[in-house]
Chains A and B, each alone.
Chain A
């Protein structure tokens, strides 16, 4: 069972470079999310997409853009990477955002280092 698949798993970028993190889920989920996790900060929501065709800012959206390409795919783009964006990025999905569908399933994470 693939679940949530995100790529790449590891990436080193130079300051100012751009890149896109890809995410796909095969569970027919409506809602998708991008989180970053830093030591001592826990998981922080960057952007989310409640359903296909919609995206909303989370707690820490600055420096990022997202695209909900279709129901399966939700990408995260760093237009001009900064060292402060060094982090572990998790893509996630859930059936819906309603309380009964709130179980979130995570991808394995993408380790990004900006030098």
Chain B
């Protein structure tokens, strides 16, 4: 079974805090990984892809640990505007030719 597991939260953090989310996936052969962001009553939007070497985009850092089958998202210096649900997304296909599987999401609330 193809599964992507996330802590649903909510994570309630003050502005300026650093917060980290983890996500575990069930298939060690998974090929590609993403974090999506979803605001309340809106569609999901790509936040960042996750590369084997880890990658950073401003205040956001994504890391992949293939041996333990998890990916993480670190948000530094949290802003009120970071409040959203963060979806972990995995491609389980051996060739990449299968639909993505979405986790149920982790809700973040950044408090002033």
Interface residues of A (CB under 8 A from B): 33, 35, 40-43, 45, 48, 50, 58, 90, 97-100, 102-109
B45 contacts A102, C-beta separation under 8 Å: no
A40 contacts B104, C-beta separation under 8 Å: yes
Knowing A98-B95, A99-B32 touch, does A104 contact B100 (C-beta < 8 A)?
yes
Chain A residues with CB under 8 Å of B44's CB are 43, 90, 104, 106
Cβ 8 A contact of B42, one of A40, A97, A108: A108
Secondary structure dominating the interface of B? loop
For window 41-83 of B, CB contacts with A under 8 Å fall at: 41-46, 49
Interface residues of B (CB under 8 A from A): 31-32, 34, 41-46, 49, 87, 91, 93, 95-105
Beyond A45-B101, A103-B49, 5 additional contacts (C-beta under 8 Å) are: A42-B87, A43-B44, A58-B99, A106-B43, A108-B43
Chain A residues with CB under 8 Å of B97's CB are 50, 97-98
A110-B22 Cα distance, complex, nearest whole Å = 30
B95 contacts A43, C-beta separation under 8 Å: no
A48-B101 Cα distance, complex, nearest whole Å = 13
Chain B residues with CB under 8 Å of A58's CB are 99
Q: Which residue of chain B has its CB nearest to the CB of A42? A: B104
A43 contacts B42, C-beta separation under 8 Å: no
Query: How close is B40's CB to chain A, nearest CB, in angstroms?
Result: 12
B34 contacts A102, C-beta separation under 8 Å: yes
Knowing A45-B99, A97-B96 touch, does A107 contact B43 (C-beta < 8 A)?
yes
Most chain B CB within 10 A, of A42, A48, A50, A102, is at A102
